[in-house]
Chain A
Amino acid sequence: MNRTALALIGCALLATAACSGSGGRAREAHHRLAAPGPASPPSPPDMSEAYRHSSTCDVLYEPVRRIIGWVGRPAGGRAAALVRILAIGKPRWNTPDGVRPTQTEADAMVAERDDGPSIFRPVTLSIERVLSGSASAGTIVALAESGTIGRDEVSSCAFGSPARLTIREGPAVATVGQRYVAILGNEPLTGRTDGPLDMPVIDDLFVVRGNRVVGLNEISEPLP
């Protein structure tokens, strides 16, 4: 057996070992979660007190292109679009009239749509191109969860500060006039998790620089 053959066998063994090493992971079964059980919904907050609420998330640091591909699948009720921010409004509550919910209203929010009171900023977006899912062309108002109203304050996963629309916990801040890839989600006013996106929440914003988009891992990639 010559040295080349030995080298080939060695490579094959190494490859086999490497494959068997990762095979354990590959064989790891993925289990989809069942829908949340019909157990009692979370208790509504006590609205007689100051309401301070912080949401924090962990996410898959996948390329933006892949995340866009995941968005807008059936039953997802989401869309990804290249947008420009035209205006950012003052914080408002997620009630139809935008004012602080009473205790009765807060109770109803939790009981009827499994979601509590929160504070959002209306963000006017010009949709330049829909990348996946379906969204209205032209200008829409989307809601960015974050803000302070009086003694109450809310920070969300997408915008990690109540004081300003800090994108996640990085250095970028959502800015009027700038372009972003926006992942738009379900409605905070009705609790629907499917379309149409007539008043969506901004689930994520990705910074666009020229013809490239910057992902959660800070790696930029060409715009789809």
Chain B
Amino acid sequence: MRRRCFLLGVLLVLQTISMLPSAQAARGPGNSWTQLDNHDWPTGSSNPSCSPCVRWPKYFYSGRWEFSMGGAPFFHSDAVSAMKEWSGQPYPSPIFEEGPRGCGGDVCLAARAMPPNSCGRADVTYNSARTVIRAVVYLNTQAQRGYADGPAGSGGCDVRYTYRHEIGHVFSEGHSAVQADLMWPGNNNVEHVDGDAQSELRAVYGTFSTGSSGCPCSAIQTSKMKLLQEAAALDGVVSGRQGFPSAA
């Protein structure tokens, strides 16, 4: 009996080891955040930062985003919440307000056919000065099992993660090598802008004190805080969850 238990224990240990997130180890030595244009990450870039960085035209840029897809109502409400959360980040990063339905504006949220294991894609176009001109975020009309309004089971995409991850690219984020991060490139059901993503924003856009002289910083901070509160409220209504990370 004891021998059987011992063998069972060994099997359990081996099973546990085989189930460990080897992807994280195998991805190393990557960075916890990278900028969008660090193409050769992780092997070609030990430094995740950039100079000049691919980013929106100026500090405190204010633009417009548009929504252009069909589907269940949560596709739109989750998009609104994700865009508000990113726009509300406490840095001189852009603020995007929703425009009319369509695919104009600075940022378009649309859908198209992609490979069946893809959840989302962000296309960012920038000029030779590395200034972003326009971005399109796509969901996949051929995703294998479609999208859930929250954590998805095997083979499914979490639309909240997908929007926040892809809109992160729009704001200048590259991928993280940390499996628990929002900007990890696999669908890990992380649904909020986390500290590593904020580190990238801080590196690319600076802080309010370094943003620019004469900025109406307190007004912008108030506006950003309001966006975060709206995102949290919308998120809560849709999911029943109340929690929301602070923007500190």
Q: Are A59 and B186 neighbours in the complex by a CB distance under 8 Å?
A: yes
What's the interface size class on A, roughly? 35 or more
Surface stretch bound by B, among A4-12, A70-78, A134-142: A70-78
In the bound complex, how far is the Cα of B142 from the Cα of A183, in angstroms?
15
In terms of DSSP, what is the predominant structure of the interface of chain A? loop
Given the contacts A43-B104, A53-B123, A57-B118, A36 and B111 also touching, CB distance less than 8 Å = yes
- Is residue A97 within 8 Å, beta carbon to beta carbon, of the partner chain? no
Q: Are B111 and A155 neighbours in the complex by a CB distance under 8 Å?
A: no
Partner of A78 from B75, B115, B141, B155 at Cβ < 8 Å:
B115
Partner of A33 from B118, B122, B140, B169 at Cβ < 8 Å:
B140
Q: Which residues of A contact B162 (CB under 8 A)?
A: 58
B interface size (C-beta, 8 A): 78
Residue on A nearest B169 in the bound complex, by CB: A56
Q: Are A76 and B26 neighbours in the complex by a CB distance under 8 Å?
A: no
- Is residue B215 within 8 Å, beta carbon to beta carbon, of the partner chain? no
In the bound complex, how far is the Cα of B27 from the Cα of A61, in angstroms?
13
In the bound complex, how far is the Cα of B185 from the Cα of A151, in angstroms?
28
Q: Are B27 and A170 neighbours in the complex by a CB distance under 8 Å?
A: yes
Q: Which residues of A contact B108 (CB under 8 A)?
A: 42
Residue on A nearest B154 in the bound complex, by CB: A62
Residue on A nearest B165 in the bound complex, by CB: A58
Q: 1/0 per position for B56-94, CB-CB distance to A under 8 A?
A: 000000000010111110110000000000000000000
- Is residue A161 within 8 Å, beta carbon to beta carbon, of the partner chain? yes
Q: Are A186 and B157 neighbours in the complex by a CB distance under 8 Å?
A: no
Partner of B103 from A29, A31, A43 at Cβ < 8 Å:
A43
Q: Are A59 and B113 neighbours in the complex by a CB distance under 8 Å?
A: no
Q: Which of B36, B39, B165 has the most CB of A within 10 A?
A: B39
Q: Are A169 and B175 neighbours in the complex by a CB distance under 8 Å?
A: yes
Q: 1/0 per position for A33-48, CB-CB distance to B under 8 A?
A: 1111101111101100
- Is residue B139 within 8 Å, beta carbon to beta carbon, of the partner chain? yes
Residue on B nearest A34 in the bound complex, by CB: B70
Q: Are A39 and B187 neighbours in the complex by a CB distance under 8 Å?
A: no
Given the contacts A28-B148, A45-B134, A161-B44, A54 and B36 also touching, CB distance less than 8 Å = yes
Q: Which residues of B contact A163 (CB under 8 A)?
A: 39-40
Interface of B toward A, CB cutoff 8 Å: 22-23, 26-27, 36-37, 39-44, 54, 66, 68-72, 74-75, 101-104, 108, 110-128, 130, 133-134, 136, 139-157, 161-162, 165-166, 169, 174-175, 185-187
Q: Can you identify 19 A-B contacts, CB atoms within 8 angstroms?
A: A28-B148, A33-B70, A33-B139, A33-B140, A36-B69, A42-B108, A52-B127, A54-B37, A54-B124, A55-B122, A57-B114, A57-B122, A60-B118, A78-B116, A157-B121, A160-B41, A170-B27, A193-B113, A219-B22
The 9 closest A-B pairs by CB, nearest first: A218-B26, A34-B70, A32-B146, A61-B186, A161-B39, A39-B68, A70-B116, A217-B23, A50-B128
